[in-house]
Amino acid sequence: MEPGETPADCALRETEEELSIPRAEIRLLGQGDFICNQRGFLLRPLPGLVSPAGLATLRPAPAEVTEVFTVPVEFFRTTLPQPCAYDLIPHVPESFPYEAVGIPRDYPWNCGKVEVPVWLYGGHAIWGMTARIVRDLVSHL
């Protein structure tokens, strides 16, 4: 976001810059749920409907967008993603101040698991953060 910009302004500006879809051709539908990433960023999607006229103006900015494709919403409503997951394993540095925080060196750090939904459609994979956003959006339809 740029200074003084609202999340909606930012989403519409970025869509126009990256895909050449005029903001007037997008009807925002509200805000999605917050999605937290293990890399430390928090994302709040702003889903919207693009008009047919807006879709006709779609021209990806080559410096920012490699490829654009569409998938019918019904596909996501009727097809479960392939369930994939990986373990989050803490790697605590030797320099961690165990004594200062009052825990032993063999402290049982919690591990975690990250689910990575994957849909395959028309030779494309919809996965990761994009798939998490789609899964959340479809759950509210």
Q: Is the pLDDT of residue 96 over 90?
A: yes
* Report field, pTM of the whole predicted structure over 0.85: no
Q: Is the pLDDT of residue 37 over 80?
A: no
Phi/psi of residue 5, each to 5°? -90, 140
What is the predicted pLDDT for the residue at 33? 81
Q: In the chain, where do the E strands start and end?
A: 26-28, 35-36, 42-43, 48-50, 82-88, 112-121, 124-127
Q: Write down the domain spans for the chain.
A: 1-66, 69-141
Q: Is the pLDDT of residue 39 over 80?
A: no
Q: Over the stretch 104-136, which tens digit does the pLDDT of each residue have?
A: 999 999 999 988 999 999 999 999 889 999 998
Give the pLDDT mean for 66-71. Answer: 94
What is the predicted pLDDT for the residue at 117? 95
Instruction: Tell me the CATH number of domain 1-66, given options 3.40.50.300, 3.30.450.20, 1.10.10.350, 3.90.79.10.
Output: 3.90.79.10
What is the predicted pLDDT for the residue at 36? 79
Q: How far apart are CA 34 and CA 98, in angstroms?
A: 33
% of the chain with per-residue pLDDT over 90? 77
What are the structure tokens assigned to 42, written together? 């928090």
Tell me which H or E stretch contains 34: none
